[in-house]
Amino acid sequence: MLMRWCAVPALLMALTGLAQAADCPEALQGSLPKLRAKESVDLCQRYAGKPLVVVNTASFCGFAPQFEGLEALNQHYKAQGLEMLGVPSNDFKQESKDSAETAKVCYANYGVTFTMTEPQKVRGDDATHLFKVLA
């Protein structure tokens, strides 16, 4: 049976105050390139010790309007320390092959202000490390 997932949110609850600065959870080891930017996000440096919502997104999925709710969640809880990371993927054939189009959907169409990455593989042997650990 073929299942198509448009978005798979995962909540990583970091143990704030229990981890030393040098400690990094397995899921956060590595970095991912930011969407339409020249820099990457060092996941451990940016998110270790913080509550983090990781969302696999797809710009042309029927759930794309989820960006509005995700941004509202981000705005409501960011002052309390919640972090959000959007990870687009075309693994389910619902993401643009053009990063500029993905950025337009996220930033211009839905007003996303949380960090988004370049499209990544999120399933199978080629999945990015973060999603291998989450799976």
Q: What is the pLDDT of residues 10-57, one digit of tens each?
A: 443 333 333 444 589 999 999 999 999 999 999 999 999 999 999 999
Q: How far is CA 86 from CA 3, 54, 69, 82, 130, in A?
A: 21, 6, 13, 13, 12
Q: What is the mean pLDDT of residues 62-67?
A: 82
Could you tell me what percent of the chain has a pLDDT over 90? 59
pLDDT of residue 16: 38
Which pair of tokens denotes residue 8? 């798979």
Domains located in the chain, CATH noted: 8-134 (3.40.30.10)
CB 119 within 8 A of CB 90: yes
Catalytic residue among 24, 44, 61, 106: 61
Residue in this structure with the two tokens 């999603």, named with its chain if needed: 131
Query: Does the annotation mark 24 as catalytic?
Result: no
pLDDT of residue 106: 87
pLDDT of residue 9: 46
pLDDT tens by residue, 72-115? 999 999 999 999 999 999 988 888 888 888 888 888 888 999 99
Strands (E), 1-133: 8-12, 31-33, 40-42, 52-57, 83-88, 115-116
Which pair of tokens denotes residue 87? 């990870």
Record the pTM.
0.81
Q: Give the chain's mean pLDDT.
A: 84
